[in-house]
Amino acid sequence: MNHFTYKNGVLCCEDKPVQDIAKEVGTPFYLYSTATLQRHFDAFDSGFDGMKHQTCFAVKACSNLSILHLFAQMGGGADIVSGGELFRAMKAEIDPQKIIYSGAGKTRTEIREALEAGILMFNVESPQELDRIQEIAAELKLTARIAFRINPDVDPKTHAYISTGLAKNKFGIPVDEALEEYLRAKEMENIEIVGVSCHIGSQLTQIDPFIEALRKVKNFVAKLEQKGIHIQYLDLGGGVGITYDDEQPPHPVDYAAAIKEELAGMDCTLILEPGRVITGNAGVLITEIQYTKMNTGGEKEKRFVIVDAAMNDLSRPSLYSAYHEILPVQEPAEGTEQHEVDVVGPICETGDFMARDRMMPEVQPGELLAVMSCGAYGFSMSSNYNSRPKVAEVLVSGDQFRVIRQRESYEDLLRGEELTALP
């Protein structure tokens, strides 16, 4: 359920016609609905009512300050994976006591910053990282709260690039080696063990892999208890999928129910790190058609719709062959002729496409298209490739909108560069 629908023949975000925003802001731009963001956060979080829990939004999915602040106001914490994300989370007024730091390659500087901020816990991914955290915490005369990220060797049945819980993936510590690491951590002066964590992948469309991983984690927690190590926080990561095309992911409420059932009787606070499921369908990318053309002479004639957004703005199609629905902003009249087209950007790579071999109603230059389901891993993965300024981000509430990130200027592109030559 989202708030992007046709009203009187024009696509609206909540009560605001998309074309009105485009007139003021220009294209391309990312467009988010406050009502959808709130609804998705609430639907996910309230599924765990009746259990001690904390929802920590995965900042990497959508890192705009205003959006992070919206979740902060709803009681949300943050799952961060870099010093930059810590900086954002703090600026967005997220309570540091609700910040979890994940990721396999935390630098010394990043660890120091997180310790000084007083975050809830580090999800530690290697023995060397544990040693590094102990060393820095000792220097700062602080105590670092930690969990280890367990790699449960479970197949999440998703795209290979976003599978993270298989033994062959770079993430976490194998269950068999983790006990030894907990025992080592227990003896460390500046380390306090508070949790166990796992995150097996993203865009999961089935509940079973989550439950399989959870059972392994539960068994492991029991082993820790036997050794006198008590766990306060059980962090189950993120990963619930969304519908881009015809996927049928579990409803967050069913996901929550299955987890609650599995955890019945366990005395700990559950931590959840959802990203995609909260923001994915709460944002779209609006782009203007520049040209249409037909290339003949190959096996079959090929139609192209060339738009002003490109793989640097939305990389998911090129990176993961991801599917995004594309809707004309002006609702096509019934009976409009349909063609099979490639929707492509202006970048000099054949991999620069939004959609391939897609049936779409006939469109003309100057018309607007909405690339749907871009609210997660959309803007946050964008780059300046081809010296393209990053696009604007806009947030709608009711019939009001606000630019929550200005479109970059050419000057922004050169920030930090010098016109210089070595002698």
Ligand X SMILES: *Cc1c(COP(=O)(O)O)cnc(C)c1O
Q: Is 79 in the site for ligand X (CB under 6 A)?
A: yes
Among 55, 64, 102, 163, binds ligand X (CB under 6 A): 102
Q: Is 283 in the site for ligand X (CB under 6 A)?
A: no
**Do residues 378 and 316 touch, judged by C-beta distance below 8 A?**
yes
At 234, which helix (H) or strand (E)? Answer: strand 233-235
Q: Is 239 in the site for ligand X (CB under 6 A)?
A: yes
Distance CA 402, CA 225 (A): 51
**Do residues 4 and 284 touch, judged by C-beta distance below 8 A?**
yes
Residue 268 appears among annotated catalytic residues: no
Q: Is 77 in the site for ligand X (CB under 6 A)?
A: no
Q: Is 237 in the site for ligand X (CB under 6 A)?
A: yes
At 184, which helix (H) or strand (E)? Answer: helix 175-186
Of 10-18, 44-52, 274-282, 311-319, the window that binds ligand X (rule: CB under 6 A) is 274-282
Give the shortest CB-86-to-ligand X separation in angstroms. 14
Q: Give 190 or 205: the residue with its C-beta nearer to ligand X.
A: 205
Report in angstroms the alpha-carbon separations of 330 from 51, 170, 260. 45, 45, 44
Q: Strand 16-17 vs strand 29-33: parallel, antiparallel, or unpaired?
A: unpaired
Q: Is 274 in the site for ligand X (CB under 6 A)?
A: yes
Of 58-66, 175-183, 251-259, 415-423, the window that binds ligand X (rule: CB under 6 A) is 58-66
Exactly one of 12, 13, 62, 348 is catalytic; name it: 348
Report in angstroms the alpha-carbon separations of 304 from 121, 313, 335. 49, 19, 21
Question: HSE of 417 in the Cβ direction (CA atoms, 13 Å)?
Answer: 7
Q: Is 54 in the site for ligand X (CB under 6 A)?
A: no
Name which of residues 165 to 204 contact ligand X (CB under 6 A). Answer: 199, 202-203
Per-position x/- string for 298-337, each x denoting binding to ligand X as judged by CB under 6 A, each - no binding: ----------------------------------------
Q: Is 60 in the site for ligand X (CB under 6 A)?
A: yes
Give the shortest CB-127-to-ligand X separation in angstroms. 19
Backbone dihedral region for residue 136 (phi beyond 0: left; psi -120 to 50: alpha; all else: beta) = alpha
Give the shortest CB-3-to-ligand X separation in angstroms. 20
Quick one: tokens of 121? 């816990």
Of 55-63, 183-191, 221-229, 330-338, the window that binds ligand X (rule: CB under 6 A) is 55-63
At 130, which helix (H) or strand (E)? Answer: helix 127-140
Among 47, 165, 252, 275, binds ligand X (CB under 6 A): 275
**Do residues 80 and 110 touch, judged by C-beta distance below 8 A?**
no
Give the shortest CB-317-to-ligand X separation in angstroms. 17
Give the shortest CB-252-to-ligand X separation in angstroms. 11
**Do residues 88 and 304 touch, judged by C-beta distance below 8 A?**
no
Q: Give 71 or 401: the residue with its C-beta nearer to ligand X.
A: 71
Phi, psi of 11 (to 5 degrees): -70, 130
**Do residues 310 and 352 touch, judged by C-beta distance below 8 A?**
yes
Q: Strand 99-101 vs strand 53-58: parallel, antiparallel, or unpaired?
A: unpaired
**3-state SS class at 288:** strand
Task: Give, in degrees to the nearest 5, the angle at Cα 1 between 52 and 34.
Answer: 75
At 89, which helix (H) or strand (E)? Answer: helix 83-91
Q: Is 378 in the site for ligand X (CB under 6 A)?
A: no
Q: Is 28 in the site for ligand X (CB under 6 A)?
A: no
Q: Is 271 in the site for ligand X (CB under 6 A)?
A: no
Q: Give 12 or 282: the residue with its C-beta nearer to ligand X.
A: 282
Give the shortest CB-46-to-ligand X separation in angstroms. 17
Distance CA 38, CA 278 (A): 8
Of 22-30, 269-277, 309-317, 355-363, the window that binds ligand X (rule: CB under 6 A) is 269-277
List the catalytic residues.
348
Return residues touching ligand X (CB under 6 A). 58, 60-61, 79, 102, 199, 202-203, 237-239, 273-277, 376
